[in-house]
Structures are given as structure tokens and as C-alpha cells.
Amino acid sequence: MDTQAYSKISNAALIQELYRRYRCQEEALRKRIVLLGMPGAGKGTHSAKMLARFCMCHLSTGDLLREEVRSGSEFGKKLKGIMERGELIEDEVMCNLIKQQLAKPACANGAILDGFPRTIPQAEKLDQILKQSGQSIDQAIFMNVREQVVVDRLGGRWTHLNSGRTYHYKFNPPKVHGVDDITGEPLVQREDDKEATIRNRLNVYQNKTSPIIDYYRKKGILFEVNAERPVNDIWKDIKSIVKTK
Ligand code: AP5
Ligand code: MG
């Protein structure tokens, strides 16, 4: 145990973290949940809350791809252009990525899929991958929001790159301007949060991603929330959906 590192954390913060872990263990739901919704619907914002509350793993394909871009690899260079235009990465690449991630021990208590699937072929492949280990998607939560609302949200979004935590300069500001609440590291604006790219991401969402809503509705596992309300109100709904058997 690294006592040196723990000595920097206050007793109150340590006890709070222990309590969180204990509660997660007690309430491990072992569900696989897909978060659906337009860019800016609040998928990342609520994934962070679900992760803290239910100790599931958080698989954000956008965060995983941005990490690859930051690594400077040849593959990352290819991804960068596609993402900055707001286009989608090939289905096969994305399905292989998610398959590797789902196999990690961190996902044994359940998984939040944020940004995947994004096309019908991805949704079908995800079902096949899970079926191989006797699992399936338990719930798909559709965060419904109008286009005009998300354009405002994305224009003001600030992100902590290492964790994927998001803030909004007006709607959800950090405690200190420009700085992540947890680590104190600087916040940045995402390259694809420029207006022209936002418009393209919204078109891609309408054409390729929105049919997935019906895919899960037909399976009887779709739950819809009005995602235009304040974060705490949306979170109450999501919490009760996740807790339903
Ligand atoms: P990805 O990173 O997944 O981006 P996205 O789907 O466009 O979604 P966002 O992250 O922009 O929105 P969000 O719903 O997480 O909103 P957030 O909580 O941050 O993907 C990026 C790119 O990667 C894609 O364009 C594509 O190129 C590629 N990619 C990823 N997955 C792929 C796949 N499966 N297949 C192919 N390509 C893939 O909230 C937004 C802002 O609003 C924040 O500032 C937040 O503070 C604020 N906010 C949130 N909720 C509220 C509220 N209720 N009220 C007020 N403000 C709020
Ligand atoms: Mg996100």
C-alpha cells in the first residue's frame, strides 16, 4: 500500500470513497446499459454519475479514440481527421475496440456504453459479442433533447482530457474557472466542438445513429428521459431506471 500517496488525501475523502465502494459492492447490478442520444445530450455527464454510484465500467468510445489520437500513433493520426470532420470510424474497428474493452475485469460489475453502438451493424455486432459470454444489453436509455439545445451546450463545453469529465461554462461550471474539480488540471475545448463540425455530427446522428432507438424499442428495453432539464432532475430519472429489475 502506498501510504505516502494516501497521506495526501483527507480522512473525510477517504471515508467517503470507502463508503462509495462498499455501497457499489452491495448494489452491484451487473447490468449492461447503452446510453443513447445526440451529441451533447449529456451521455458523458451522466456516465460519470453512474460510474460513481454503481461502480460499472464506463466505455466511452469517443474518449478511447481521443486517447489514441493523443498517443500520436499512425492509427491515431488517421482517426484525428475523421473525428474533426464529425464522421464515424469504421464499424469493424469500433466493434473490435469494444470487444476488447468489455473483456476487462473492470466491466465484471456491469458496463455503461456511451457512444457505442452508433449504427445498426454496431448494435447487431454488440449483441453477438455479449451473447458469446451469455450476456445481453439490459437497458438502453435514450436521452431525448432538441437540436437547438445541444448546439448551445457543445459550444460551451470544457473537457478534462484524462478522465473525460465535462463541464459547461454556464450550465455546469467547474469550481475554479478552466480547472478540473478533482485533479486541478486544465480543461480544454474539444476540436469537434466547433460549429461546422457540430452540425455535421448532428446530421450523422440523424442518418446513422437514430435508427438504433427503434432497434432497442422493438426489443422492449428502451427507456426515454427528457434530457432538456437540469442535470439533477435527469439523474433522478436515470437512477430509478437503472435500479428497476
Ligand atoms: P463522442 O465523444 O461520443 O461524442 P458525441 O456522441 O458527439 O457526444 P458528446 O460527447 O459530444 O456529448 P455527450 O452526450 O457526452 O454530452 P456531455 O455530457 O459531454 O464521439 C466523438 C467522435 O468519435 C464521433 O464524432 C466519431 O467520429 C467518433 N466515434 C465515437 N464513437 C464512435 C462509434 N461507436 N462509431 C464510430 N465513430 C465513433 O454534455 C455536453 C455539454 O452539455 C457539457 O458541457 C455538459 O456540461 C453540458 N450539459 C450536459 N447535460 C446538461 C444539462 N442537463 N443541462 C445543461 N447542460 C448540460
Ligand atoms: Mg461524451
Q: pLDDT band for 1, please (50, 70, 90 cuts).
A: low
The residue ranges of DSSP E strands in 154-239, in sequence order, are 157-159, 166-168, 222-226
Assessment of whether the complete model's pTM goes beyond 0.85:
yes
In this structure, the residues whose C-beta lies within 6 A of any atom of ligand 1 are: 37, 39-45, 61-62, 65, 82-83, 86-89, 94, 115-116, 118, 122, 153-154, 157, 166-168, 171-172, 192, 201, 230-231, 234
To test the pocket of ligand 1, the residue of 47, 61, 95 to mutate (highest count of ligand atoms within 8 Å of its CB) is: 61
Residue 119, C-alpha cell as written in the block: 449504427
Whose alpha carbon is nearest atom 12 of ligand 1? 40
- Residue carrying the nine cell digits 474539480: 181
Please tell me the chain's helix, strand, coil percentages from 3-state DSSP, rounded to the nearest 5: 55, 15, 30
DSSP 105: G
Q: What is the pLDDT of residue 212?
A: 98
Residue 74, C-alpha cell as written in the block: 499512425
For residue 119, pLDDT beyond 90: yes
What is the 3-state secondary structure of 15-30?
HHHHHHHHHHHHCCCC
> pLDDT higher for 214 or 106?
214
For residue 5, pLDDT beyond 80: no
CA–CA distances in Å: residue 223 to residues 50, 91, 115, 210, 239: 16, 25, 16, 14, 12
List, by residue number, the catalytic residues. Answer: 43, 118, 157, 190, 201
Q: What is the pLDDT of residue 18?
A: 85
Atom index in ligand 1 nearest the CA of residue 204 equals: 25
CA–CA distances in Å: residue 187 to residues 162, 167, 231: 10, 9, 20
For residue 27, pLDDT beyond 70: no
Task: Report the mean per-residue pLDDT for the chain.
Answer: 92
- Residues 107-113 have a mean pLDDT of 92
Q: What is the number of the ligand closest to the CA of 172?
A: 1
For residue 226, pLDDT beyond 70: yes
User: Which of 19-28, 101-110, 140-149 bottoms out in mean pLDDT, i.e. has the lowest?
Assistant: 19-28
